[in-house]
Amino acid sequence: MAASNLLIYLDGKIVPESEAKISVLDHGLLYGDGVFEGIRIYNGRVFRLTEHLVRIYESAKSICMTIPMSFEELEQATLQTVAANGLREGYIRLVITRGGGPLGLNPYQCPKASVIIIATSITLYAADKYTNGLTMVTCATRRPSPAALSPQVKSLNYLNNVMAKIEAIQGGGEEGVMLNEQGYVAECTGDNLFIIKNGEVFTPPISSGALDGITRRAAMDLLKEMGIPVHEVMMTRHDIFVAEECFLTGTAAEVIAAVVLDRRSIGNGKPGPITTKLVEKFKALANSTGTAVTY
């Protein structure tokens, strides 16, 4: 869908993109003060909508922000925005900003949060990367300490991830591996990371600085259904270097193989059999479940 035809939900109304405007004094713009969710639409259904909405309400509560809608109202607004844009496949960006207020950090001077829902398409990686796998680069930029900001809060302040993404691209990769303060693997710039060794799957625990991703959870459930053990363990770059397979998960990324890290091939440098099977399983799950949209 062309951007000019996009219809955006903004504070109770669905309006053309050209009319979807917020104040330059919105604290989301001025200070990155807000939260968001990325959500997928498959085959006319919104994938794991309830889980995404639970998480955005939890993120908002964690930063002392009140979403000015009930859970049910936000659910209906999301579905209505998808229907208004006629999307059966696509991506939703649900954004809650602190709202307008005077200059200064004090969030209590912002009387009401703003709700923005965008339903469109997204391409995180080129199509051939889903066939051949991603090249990754370890980033010097570290994940913030959980003592600074919980990784479970999907904050609008994504500069940490943006800087890491710049490093990855400038280093010749499509994705960057981010370490925590102790040098353990946390996650990628926008995805959770998994490795496979001796037929078992390993992923960093959320205590390492990783987001408790919804696609991450779905992949873990599918692997268990496949009879493949899944372990949450502290992980170093060495573990990725010597893995047999590696894959990433995320709402925008879905499930995708990673085949190179820091110019070292992972396994044989091609997507492995367990990753390939998991991708098939995830596609089947995503296209057969979710909250139906009424068009």
Q: In whole angstroms, what is the distance from residue 218 CA to residue 293 CA?
A: 21
Radius of gyration of the chain (CA): 19
Q: Does residue 132 carry a pLDDT above 90?
A: yes
Of residues 123 and 80, the one with the higher pLDDT is 80
Q: What percent of the chain has pLDDT over 70?
A: 99
DSSP one-letter code for 88 = S
- Reported as a pLDDT band with limits 50, 70 and 90, residue 3 is very low
Cβ count near 9 (within 10 Å): 24
Structure tokens at 173: 């990769």
Contact 52, 88 (CB under 8 A): no
- The pLDDT tens digits for 160-207 are 999 999 999 999 999 999 999 999 999 999 999 999 999 999 999 999
CATH fold of the domain at 127-287: D-amino Acid Aminotransferase; Chain A, domain 2 (3.20.10)
Reduced to 3 states (helix: H, G, I; strand: E, B; else coil), residue 159 is helix
| Residue 262 CA, distance from chain mean position | 23
How far apart are the C-alpha atoms of 286 and 295, rounded to whole Å? 19
Structural fold of domain 3-120: D-amino Acid Aminotransferase; Chain A, domain 1 (3.30.470)
Is residue 52 within 8 Å of residue 37, measured between CB atoms?
Answer: yes
pLDDT category, 4, cuts 50, 70, 90? Answer: low
List alpha helices for the chain, DSSP H.
27-31, 49-62, 71-84, 127-132, 159-170, 214-225, 237-241, 273-288
Which ranges in the chain are annotated with CATH 3.20.10.10? 127-287
Put simply, whether the predicted model's pTM sits higher than 0.85 gets the answer: yes
Give the span between the Cα atoms of 283 and 42, in whole angstroms. 9
pLDDT digit string (tens) for 224-235? 999 999 999 999
d(CA 259, CA 184): 20
- Cβ-in-10-Å burial (0-12, 13-18, 19+) of 12 comes to exposed
Q: What torsion, rounded to 10 degrees, do the Cα atoms 60, 61, 65, 67 define?
A: 70
Q: Report pLDDT for 52.
A: 98
List pLDDT tens digits, range 79-91: 999 999 999 999 9
- Residue 21, both tokens: 């405007």
Give residues with Cβ within 8 angstroms of 141, minimum separation 6. 160, 163, 164, 167, 176, 178
Residue 25 tokens, joined: 């004094």
In this model, does residue 128 exceed pLDDT 80?
Answer: yes
Residue located via tokens 């070292």 = 264
CATH 3.30.470.10 domain locations along the chain: 3-120
Task: Quote the Cα angle for 177-91-251, to 5°.
Answer: 30
DSSP string, 262-275: TTEESTTSS--HHH
Q: Is the pLDDT of residue 2 over 60?
A: no
Annotated active-site residue in 21, 61, 129, 154: 154
Axis-axis angle for helices 49-62, 71-84 (nearest 10): 130
Query: Is there a catalytic annotation at residue 277?
Result: no
